Amino acid sequence: MAESIFNLAMIIIMIAIGLGVYRLVKGPTVVDRVIALDLLTLISIALIVMIAHLTSRYIYIDVALVYGLLSFLSVLAVARYLERGL
Amino acid sequence: MMTLLTIVLCAGILISALLATYLERRVAAVISAGLVGLFASVTYVILSAPDVAMTEAAIGSGITTVVFLFALSKTKEQPDE
């Protein structure tokens, strides 16, 4: 039961990665691509935590923690660059 | 399932790297180059190297984008839209 739920969640995450990459490729403006970058960062954090649970190595959660702490930095830099130039 | 996930992530790396070379706007190319580091970091976690993944998350996706944008803001030849 739990394994099928994890397989379903993994399939949903892969579809989400595909949709985010599609928006990154298609997106007409830069703001669409920034949103796609933020979305893919969140998906990656969820994916790292799921891999940590599936492989029973809970040291991987630290990677997700560092990623969550640093993920706002690039989005903030791009937003500030688009407004008035860093 | 993990093999399929690795294939999806490597396809994401390829698409992002190609997009970083083909995009016209430089800011969008910098965003795509940061996305390569993001997918590579998750791939390193799958390859059971969490310290490399942590360094890639800090340097490859965080600092590199900020440094590239700081360098882009110093050059004034491209008009903003």
pLDDT below 50 — which residues of chain A? none
User: How many CB pairs below 8 Å do chains A and B form together?
Assistant: 107
Nearest alpha carbon to residue B64 among B43, B45, B41, B37: B37
- For the stretch B24-33, pLDDT in tens is 888 888 889 8
pLDDT digit string, tens, across residues B40-71: 999 999 998 989 988 888 888 788 888 888 88
Q: How confident is the model at residue B21 (pLDDT cuts 50, 70, 90)?
A: very high
What integer pLDDT is reported at residue B7 of this predicted model?
Answer: 92
Cα–Cα dist A51/A67, whole Å: 15
Task: Look at residue B80 and tell me whether its pLDDT is greater than 60.
Answer: no
Q: B63: which DSSP letter?
A: I
Q: Point out the residue among B25, B42, B58 whose CB comes nearest to the CB of A70.
A: B58
Whether residue B25 contacts residue A28, with contact meaning beta carbons closer than 8 Å, is answered with no
B20 contacts in chain A (CB < 8 Å): none
Please answer yes or no on whether B27 and A78 come within 8 Å at the CB atom: yes
Measure the CA–CA gap between B38 and A57, rounded to whole angstroms. Answer: 20
Total structural domains within chain A: 1
Range of the domain at A56: 2-84
**Residue reference for tokens 């599936």:** A54
CB burial of B62-79 (b: ≥16 within 10 Å; e: otherwise) equals bebbbebbeebeeeeeee
Report chain B residues whose CB lies below 8 A from the CB of A13.
5
